[in-house]
Amino acid sequence: MLTGYRVLDLTQVVAGPTATRLLAEMGAEVVKVELAPAGDHGRQAGLKPRDPRFAASSASTHFAQHNHSKRTIAVDLKQEAGRALLRRLAGKVDVLVENFAPGVMARAGLDYPTLSALYPGLIMCSISMAGQTGPLADKPGFDYMAAAYAGITGLMGEADRAPAQLGAAMGDNATGLAAAMAIAVALLHRERTGEGQYIEASLIDTYFQMHEVNVPRVSLRGPSGAPNRAGALHGDGGPTGVFRHGADSFIAIMVLPHQWRQLVAALGMPDLEADPRFATPRGRRENNVALATIIEAWLARFPTREAAIAALEAHRVPCAPVLSVAEAIAHPHLRARGTVREIDDPRLGRFAIPGPPVRFSRWAWRDAPRAGLLGEDNAAVLAELGGLDAAEIAALVRERVLVRDPLLDVPPAPEQDN
């Protein structure tokens, strides 16, 4: 659906690459610009090839997950020739996305005021932890710092212990989704008006959007309106949380006030409705630990997690097994929908990655995504988009303005199982 649009991707790690990967999967031609000499920091994360011939390869599972479906060039932006090359390429694209610390693009002469003066129709998106303006704008930071600033981390964990750390880059991924949405809408605006524009996406802004009911509550009541950390139990639920079924077996249950009778029926404990501790939603919130004890004792009667879930679902109680990552990857529903899909890489082998978050009736996602090695498309991209001839490209290679994975000319490893 975005076929015909070009994106220059100056991002790395997760948030920015997520935004540009989604655009690539929707048909845009994305040219990923990596910084010499080592490229995207994501190339040093994840798993590397097991075959010793490719031990020094720039391939990695982390990079492949977040950067498949893109072309890649590697440029030394510390050299003026490298910066000039990117200014030239900016005139051949519709969108430029970057996630450097604020100020870096301006110092390189690649900021929006400079580029938009040359190319008025350009759409540029900057992704950062805290945005381009405000007291925190100059602070470098990552997903976990943004969650801390946005009041999210303080909600996680047990009441008598320090706040817990999130185990997934939720803010990075959500910010990438938000940026991709904003870019698509900016392209629609340009179709109507001819105007390019500048977009800011911030991890803190995205995380703050994730609050459910806490912001207005605390705004009106002050700090006393904030929920206490409740570990496996949701402080505002009745009952809502993660409940133990067995030694290493858990079930997530979420019961809204109108579903309380359904849970009571599933438990086979009609007396709970008359129990003054649980007679109202407020009472169930205030006595959620006692209620959790009752539920977990009931769950322990079932020989399997699946049997307990079946008993809950028979009364339409919203619940789910708490799956491990391995169980989620193997789940038939996730497999059937393409939520789990696979990359077959000649150096890394075959491995699972997340599929796209939405489905279109008039667009099919790529069946066989792949990610390039560092600088794999240098010559092709610069010839096609930059208008450089072979001699000019060779000179940039000699001057180390362009770099390339030296293993690109090594035959791929035999197919192996991971």
User: What single string gives the DSSP state of each residue in 40-96?
Assistant: -GGGGSS---SSGGGTT-S--HHHHHHHTT-EEEEE-TTSHHHHHHHHHHHTT-SEE
Mean pLDDT of the residues in the chain: 93
3-state secondary structure of 118: helix
Q: Supply the residues annotated as catalytic.
A: 172
* pTM score over 0.85: yes
Report strand pairing: 95-98 vs 240-246: unpaired
**Which residue type occupies 308?**
A
Using the predicted structure, report yes or no on whether residue 72 has a pLDDT greater than 80: yes
CB 234 within 8 A of CB 213: no
**Which residue type occupies 155?**
L
Lookup result for tokens 């610009």? 33
Report pLDDT digits (tens) over 270-313: 999 999 999 999 999 889 999 999 999 999 999 999 999 999 99
Q: What is the mean pLDDT of residues 371-399?
A: 95
Question: What count of Cα atoms within 13 Å lies in the side-chain half-sphere of residue 269?
Answer: 14
Domains of the chain from N-terminus onward: 6-208+336-409 (3.40.50.10540), 240-323 (3.30.1540.10)
DSSP H helical ranges for 194-331: 203-209, 214-221, 260-267, 271-274, 281-286, 288-299, 305-313, 325-330
Please state, in angstroms and rounded to a whole number, the distance separating the CA atoms of residues 116 and 59.
Answer: 34
pLDDT at 150: 95
Report pLDDT digits (tens) over 302-326: 999 999 999 999 999 999 999 999 9
